[in-house]
Structure 1
Amino acid sequence: MSGSPTFKAFARFARTQPLGVIALVLIVVMLLAGSFAPQLAPFSPLDARFDAVLQPPSAEHWFGTDNYGRDVFSRILHGTRPALLLGISTALIGSIIGAAIGTASAYFGGRVDALLQRANDVLLSIPLIVAALVVVAVLGKNMVAGVDTNLMLAIILPYIPVMARVMRTAAMGVRVSPYIDAARALGFSHLRIIVRHMLPNLVSPWLVMVSAFTAQTILLEASLSFLGVGVSEPTPAWGLMLSGVSVETLTSAPWVILFPGLAISLTVFSFSLLGDALRDALDPRTRH
């Protein structure tokens, strides 16, 4: 095990990118916390206790309680699941579709490339948060496993052209490689050349973009929930926990927004830091 290539690669990554390993550990902890939130949470995130309104952090309520007497720590644990589920699934779906489009655009070139790039330009002209607001306003909400599928669609669409543009740039260099010419000479199909020979050599920029998209999605979901467009009460969501807090509550019970804000910041920072570490570790110009 210790001599396997995977272990050696991870050991080199841990030695050269210690902050990336810390970020990866934090992400794994968050994934486990979200997966086992019902077992780990000391209280139900939906139970209101009006005899325990705005209690400060204590041995019973580690992060205090909110305006309805609900345990903040329990709500943060349960809010981890929809945040990570939406962030990771949206980033993966948008990145896979965008990678396929960008690689095909670079491989075929000519009119195919021009047509796909003009379509990318149209999608890139639509601001992400505006697209999300319009789609949710038109289609409404469709909650599945605590995630709004219509919101996922609104976020995926703007991610596709961004990933396609990045992957096209990376694939342009791979397309002129000798092994691609050899694959063509052997009569391999276009699909096989793209899937078997081009895409595996484009994993590095793809992983970096997935990390960036995940962080951006989590922050966007929190922003939309804060604006009242994303998840609605009483579903526990980090952005929703920050909305509706009055100035009086902010000064007398700062823990109500402090801990949800820390959860959002720590999660976004972890994915961003992991993306930077992957970029440095996978860049051949910085590897020794």
Structure 2
Amino acid sequence: MKPSLRLLTFDLEDWYHILDHPETERPEQWISFPSRIERNTERILNWLRERKVRSTWFVLGWVAERYPELVRRIAAEHDIAAHGYAHQLVYKSDRKSFREDTRRCLECIRQAIGRDVSVYRAGGFSVTKATPWFFEELAHAGIEIDGSIFPAARNHGGLPGAQWSKPFIVQGDGWQIREFPLMYQTIAGRRLVFSGGGYFRLLPYPLIRRFTARADYTMTYFHPRDFDPDQPVLSSLPVKRQWMSYTGLRTAPAKFRQYILDFEFSSIETADRTIDWSDRPVFRHEELFR
């Protein structure tokens, strides 16, 4: 039996980088909020250091531009990837604006750490059938590995009809991208994601542990704000989004520390080197958006 593949990833965002909300959706608004990103990130780095765990950090270009020293500190111990510059929903972008956002993000990260990165994740996993150009644009930008596919329905898009929840290859004319999608467990015929963000905070830990133990592939995704119960509350958020954004913050640190104690995790880049990609499914990029 092959060992389980469990990947630990973080999206490097501040507490106010909340998608699709009028008060927080544009970079020019962000400078008015007090930052908590350095303190919250350092806590996570200490936890990972204690367990000697290597992870992948998807960095907003806007963050790399303003906190390059923080990104360098992360890069000294973990792998750095791109998360777009302005944290916009892909399905609300046109192809040209997405191209410009991606290239600006890559340049900000290059300026911060002195090298290129070739791994990407879209803000909010917001790849949908409305973005058939997504992978081709990534390939043209030099991206080789992606982690943007969310094979279930969610507030910010997703591909609920997707039949793939394990690593696969996306192929175009003269290019390939290796995809590490999110995965799910099926409960009463419905797909349930459990391994990151609000899902992790809201679900009881015994259920998360059971789902992880029986899965042969687990992709996690966390944010520094997921472990910060003292962050400001955006009262302008709708009631449902307030519940999703702030519930479970006090218990999340202990849950997370137990999680990385109970299971062994690695970075995406480490996993990429161990996977036999010749044995993975290959899809034409057009197929994914039908």
**TM-score of the alignment, normalized to the shorter chain, above 0.5:** no
TM-score by length of 2: 0.25
Q: Which protein has the bigger strand share?
A: 2
TM-score by length of 1: 0.25
Structure whose CA Rg is larger: 1
Q: Which protein has the bigger helix share?
A: 1
